[in-house]
Amino acid sequence: MYDAPLFTTNTAVHSQPSPPGAWLKSEETVAMKTKRADFAAAYLRGRMVVAGGLGHEPSALDTVEAFHPQRKKWERLAPMNFPRCSTSSIVIRDRLLVVGGVNQVARLNRKRRSIAVPSSAHEILYVKEEEYL
């Protein structure tokens, strides 16, 4: 799947107000709680939500985090039922729908070649407004 990946917890934030079209330096942002690659991301109820992804093991993650821009803080949300990476996501009616992806890596033969096993799982994350107060 990946050869010796280098994971980062940095978050680059694109700012509109000032200066327009500029990227903030990563030291001005807050690191995610979990290092991850190949994850789903969406804007949901004023937060940037990241779900799943590939952890540093490498193994698929079930963890979900939301970035609160006013507090400049990452918050853990309920984990997904199935750990996976390479998913697709979309927000529909204040709900984050995470679909498909890869939920495990199977080891094959003596050469230890690995293959990704596709997932047909789908999950919906609904966060009540008061959970963000």
Task: Check the CA dihedral 57-62-63-66 and report its sign.
Answer: positive
CA 79 to chain centroid: 11
* Residue tagged 């966060």 (tokens): 127
Please give the pLDDT value at position 31: 83
Average pLDDT, the chain: 75
Please give the pLDDT value at position 6: 56
Please give the pLDDT value at position 103: 78
Please give the pLDDT value at position 13: 56
For residue 132, pLDDT over 50 is answered with no
Summarised one tens digit per residue, pLDDT across range 43-52 is 988 889 999 9
DSSP 35: -
Mean pLDDT of 59-86: 89
Query: Is the separation of the CB atoms in 77 and 66 below 8 Å?
Result: yes
Please give the pLDDT value at position 51: 94
Phi and psi, residue 93, nearest 5°: 50, 55
Please give the pLDDT value at position 32: 87
Summarised one tens digit per residue, pLDDT across range 101-113 is 887 655 554 565 5
- Reduced to 3 states (helix: H, G, I; strand: E, B; else coil), residue 46 is coil
What CA–CA distance (Å, rounded) separates 32 from 10?
7
Query: Is the separation of the CB atoms in 68 and 44 below 8 Å?
Result: no
List the beta strands (DSSP E) in 47-131: 47-51, 64-68, 73-77, 88-92, 95-99, 102-108, 113-118, 122-126
For residue 58, pLDDT over 80 is answered with no
Summarised one tens digit per residue, pLDDT across range 118-130 is 666 667 767 665 4
For residue 17, pLDDT over 70 is answered with no
